[in-house]
Amino acid sequence: MRLRGRSRPSSGPPRRPRPELAAAALLLAVACATARLPAPGVAEKARAASSWSGSLRVSVSGKDLRGRSHALVAFRRPDAVRIEIPGPAGARLVAVTSSGRLTAVLPAERAVLESAAGPQELEALLGLALSPSELMDVLVGIAPPGARSYEAHWGETLPRRVRARLADGTRLDARVDEAEPDVELPAAAFQPPPCNGCRRIDATEARRLLGGR
């Protein structure tokens, strides 16, 4: 039987690490430790963005929902958010919040959800107990209230990845493939998408149709 991972016995004294290699390892460790930090002034500018548009890969793990998805997200402060989950033949979900209301359309299912747009309603649909403004903050480097942990890995101007454990224990990991702050967004982007003849559903049914349970 062949054993793996065993080293051959040494015939001489142990080798000391070369000074230049040790220095290189130290520099690499320092670079890794500071890679998530923004340059001076960058965080303040990102957090002050009045609008944002980007493409993300999102993972959510909570008590009632675990899933991964690609998502197209846009927001305009103070409370307008658009979340689109693409599918092979068009959008699987288009959800918008504006003026305190949430409308989520599942085009392929000819179904629509309408509700308030608070943390409870967003948790019921998406698994994240965040208000629209808190969701915006998470994407630009601001920890949500009560979060057990939060970290943002920064690119040149914006976070490229955010990881958080929310107050209820839900874990969020969002990798930002591309994003742009302070972008001009048409008002129509945050209007409820048309769904003539759609049947009305609740959040439980919407999550079942999306495969969240």
The domain that contains 98 carries what CATH number?
2.50.20.10
35 domain residue, yes or no = no
Residue range(s) defining the domain that contains residue 96: 48-185
Degrees, nearest 5: CA angle 129-170-39 = 85
Q: How far is residue 66 from each of residues 23, 93, 120, 210, measured CA to CA in Å? A: 42, 17, 17, 12
User: In the prediction, which pLDDT does 39 show?
Assistant: 86
Instruction: Examine residue 1 and state whether it is found in any structural domain, yes or no.
Output: no
Question: Which residues of the chain are under the pLDDT cut of 50?
Answer: 1-15, 17-35, 213
Alpha-carbon span 115 to 111, nearest angstrom: 14
For residue 84, tell me if it sits in a domain: yes
The per-residue pLDDT for 34 is: 34
pTM over the 0.85 mark = no
Question: What is the secondary structure of 133-167 as a DSSP string?
Answer: HHHHHHHTT-PPTT-SEEEEEE-SSSEEEEEEE-T
- Is residue 117 assigned to a domain? yes
pLDDT of residue 36: 66
> For residue range 184-193, what is the model confidence (pLDDT) as tens digits?
999 999 998 8
Q: How many domains does the chain have?
A: 1
**pLDDT for res 89:** 84
- Asked whether the beta carbons of 141 and 179 are under 8 A apart, the reply is no
